[in-house]
């Protein structure tokens, strides 16, 4: 019996969790929460998800305009590791606390697991990044894109990639809120409030601070 339980927790069903979370995120999140924590999978999700997030950030900020490509990738790797720790422990703790204030009953562990597994849609973007790096190279991270601009085929391909990335991103937000909501056992709307409330409070604090500075 014990061997079977370990197999259920860490065996072939893991991939089924990754697939079903796309269409039944609450059901699969509850299934994941009720199993023993698979630390290896959690670390993999955090690192891959964080890496893709850092890549997207570097691309949107055109960071290769101000640094060599090798330095950029070293920066991305460092940001991935540091960001994974902050995201899992600090952001997880923040969403646990705020969610609890809103009536959530999830544990700190449950909330952290929801944040890790909500990275699954982001990881799918790796399938987009691989051909994108092959086709567009450094121009993924620069504001000037002469090679892409000179080729209608590359430009159309880039637009298609952007549309796919946008669709995955929107669906990923839906899954993110469903997973966080299930961890706290409340609605996705409360999960949204759990996410945006700290941002609103932070903006208010910054605004008050700037007003005080201007008044001095």
**How many other C-beta atoms can be found within 10 angstroms of the C-beta atom of residue 94?**
15
pLDDT at 147: 85
What pLDDT, on the 0 to 100 scale, is given for residue 161? 87
Predicted pLDDT at 188: 95
Residue 100 token pair: 């609890």
Tokens of 83: 């960001």
Tens digits of per-residue pLDDT, 143-165?
998 888 888 888 898 889 889 98
**What pLDDT score was predicted for residue 13?**
61
Structural domain tally of the chain? 1
Confidence at residue 117, expressed as pLDDT on a 0 to 100 scale: 95
pLDDT band at 4 (very low <50, low <70, confident <90, very high): very low
Containing domain of residue 90, as a range? 2-215
Instruction: Give the integer Cα–Cα distance in Å for 9 and 39.
Output: 11
Could you give the count of Cα atoms lying within 13 Å of 1 in the half-sphere of its Cβ?
0
Q: Which residues contact 35 (CB under 8 A, 6 or more apart)?
A: 8, 9
- Which pLDDT band holds residue 1 (cuts at 50, 70, 90)? very low
pLDDT, tens only, 78-91: 999 999 999 999 99
**How much is the pLDDT for 14?**
65
pLDDT per residue over 11-32, tens digit each? 446 677 678 889 999 999 999 9
Share of the chain above pLDDT 70, in %: 93
> Can you say whether residue 62 is alpha, beta or left, with left for phi > 0 and alpha for psi between -120 and 50 degrees?
left
CA angle 96–100–102, rounded 5-degree value: 125
Helix H segments across 11-68?
Answer: 13-20, 25-33, 39-60
Q: 116-134 pLDDT, tens per residue?
A: 999 999 888 888 898 888 9
What pTM did the predictor assign?
0.86
Q: What pLDDT sits at residue 108? A: 97
Q: What is the largest CA-CA distance in the chain?
A: 70
Q: Report whether 141 contacts 72 (CB < 8 A).
A: yes
Nearest Cα neighbor of 60 from 193, 207, 199, 162 is 162
């Amino acid at each position: 019996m014990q061997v079977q339980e370990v197999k259920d927790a860490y065996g072939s069903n893991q991939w089924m969790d990754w697939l079903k979370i796309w269409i039944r995120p609450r059901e699969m999140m509850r299934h994941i929460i009720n199993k023993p924590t698979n630390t290896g999978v959690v670390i993999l999700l955090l690192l891959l998800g964080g890496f893709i997030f850092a890549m997207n950030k570097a691309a949107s900020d055109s960071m290769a305009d101000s640094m060599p490509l090798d330095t950029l990738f070293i920066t991305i790797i460092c940001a991935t590791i540091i960001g994974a720790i902050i995201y899992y422990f600090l952001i997880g703790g923040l969403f646990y606390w705020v969610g609890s204030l809103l009536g959530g009953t999830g544990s700190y562990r449950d909330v952290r697991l929801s944040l890790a597994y909500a990275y699954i849609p982001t990881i799918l973007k790796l399938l987009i990044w691989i051909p994108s790096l092959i086709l567009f190279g450094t121009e993924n991270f620069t504001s000037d894109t002469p090679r892409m601009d000179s080729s209608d085929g590359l430009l159309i391909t880039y637009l298609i990639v952007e549309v796919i990335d946008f669709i995955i991103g929107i669906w990923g937000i839906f899954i993110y809120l469903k997973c966080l909501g299930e961890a706290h056992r409340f609605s996705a709307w409360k999960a949204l409030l759990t996410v945006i409330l700290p941002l609103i409070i932070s903006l208010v604090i910054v605004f008050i601070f700037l007003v005080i500075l201007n008044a001095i």
